Amino acid sequence: MNLGPPPRRITVDADQVRRLVAEQFPQWTDLPVRPVAEGGWDNRTFHLGDALTARLPSAAEYALAVEKEQRWLPVLAPRLPVPIPVPLAEGRPGADYPFAWSIHPWLVGEPARRERVADPVGFAADLAGFLAALRSVDTDGAPRPGKHNWFRGGTLRTFDELVQRSLDGHDWAGEIWQAALDTPWDGVERWFHGDVAEGNLLLDGGELAAVIDFGTCGAGDPACDLAIAWTLLTADGRRAFRERLAVDDAEWARGRGWALWKTLVTCARTKGRDDREAMEARRVLDEIRLEYLKS
């Protein structure tokens, strides 16, 4: 499957957000607007006062998720053990901004990093508990994999061309990838988040406090949510995570594949660099290799 060209992103500034709010939500006109630090890539996020955020998709492809989030996050939230960003209002295009957008409550916390996690095993168990609760929600009417979520929850074969271009002589990675492709899914659809990554997991006091950014959520094969086991968790945390979720060998292999494809692509894109992104991608690649060799 061809994923198509990369999204054409647009810039959004605080002045646009002020005008959008003034035009559409006059009750919040007097609230100050400022960009959120680490405000995201798929969406541009702005503080709206101290208690709210305005979240604006940065490309037409990401705007496909707005209606989905408006519809489903209020359904999911009561069934989950930590807070998620339930929309308070849906905005429409205006002020030279072309897409639908949302206003959410501000959720307290800082993005997860390994060094910020107080108890790696406890954190892993809490995250697994969150995903177990998400998987238990009825999928009747839920969105299936598609362009709205970059085919998360679907087959890994969607990303085969990207992986093949990024293997760069890593024979062991090709072996892991093929094993993931060859491992069947039982076909039982379950809810998944789709982008369980350190930036979407908020910590308060080193503990899991909230999960944000459900733009890639849907119902399908939930193995995509397992990538975090290699990208963030420690070895002990990974074991606790797998045990709490009761993941069998087949799903674990597919989850490893989800972790591998994006890491390989990032390694290829950052080759020759020594910044945090490049070093982190190489670390994760080593983590995947070592865990696979021990399995």
Residues linked to residue 193 through DSSP beta bridges, in sequence order: none
Residue 5 in this model has a pLDDT that exceeds 80:
no
User: pLDDT band at 1, cuts 50/70/90?
Assistant: low
CA separation for the pair 68, 287 (Å, rounded): 34
Q: What is the pLDDT of residues 205-228, one digit of tens each?
A: 999 999 999 999 999 999 999 999
Residue-level pLDDT at 169: 85
- pLDDT higher for 5 or 87? 87
Residue-level pLDDT at 191: 98
CA separation for the pair 183, 13 (Å, rounded): 45
Among the ranges given (35-44, 146-155, 170-179, 271-280), the one the predictor scored with the smallest mean pLDDT: 35-44
User: pLDDT band at 3, cuts 50/70/90?
Assistant: low
Residue-level pLDDT at 157: 96
CA separation for the pair 195, 274 (Å, rounded): 25
Return the residue matching tokens 């062991």.
172
Average pLDDT, the chain: 96
Residue 281, CA distances (Å) to 123, 169, 246, 284 in order: 22, 16, 27, 5
> What average pLDDT score do residues 249-268 get?
97
Judge whether 125 and 244 are in contact, CB under 8 Å. Answer: yes
Helix (DSSP H) and strand (DSSP E) numbers for the chain: 9, 10
Residues linked to residue 35 through DSSP beta bridges, in sequence order: 46
CA separation for the pair 121, 206 (Å, rounded): 12
Q: What is the pLDDT of residues 174-196, one digit of tens each?
A: 999 999 999 999 999 999 999 99
Q: What tokens appear for 161 in the block?
A: 């061309």
Residue 168 in this model has a pLDDT that exceeds 90:
no
Judge whether 121 and 237 are in contact, CB under 8 Å. Answer: yes
The contacts of residue 100 (CB under 8 Å, 6+ apart) are: 57, 63, 66, 67, 90, 91, 92, 93
Set out the domains of the chain in order of their start, with CATH numbers.
Answer: 14-105 (3.30.200.20), 110-294 (3.90.1200.10)
Q: What tokens appear for 39 in the block?
A: 């405000």
User: Which uninterrupted H or E stretch holds 50?
Assistant: none
Residue-level pLDDT at 209: 98
Residue-level pLDDT at 4: 63
Residue-level pLDDT at 2: 55
Give the rounded percent of residues in the chain with a pLDDT score beyond 90: 93
CA separation for the pair 55, 66 (Å, rounded): 9
User: pLDDT band at 201, cuts 50/70/90?
Assistant: very high
Q: What tokens appear for 235 in the block?
A: 């070895």
CA separation for the pair 100, 86 (Å, rounded): 16
Cα(first)–Cα(last) distance of the chain, in Å? 30
Q: Provide the edge-to-edge strand list for the sheet that holds 207-211.
A: 110-111, 201-204, 207-211
Residue 269 in this model has a pLDDT that exceeds 90:
yes
Q: What are phi and psi of 73, to 5 degrees?
A: -65, -35
Q: What is the pLDDT of residues 118-167, one digit of tens each?
A: 999 999 999 999 999 999 999 999 999 998 999 999 999 999 999 999 99
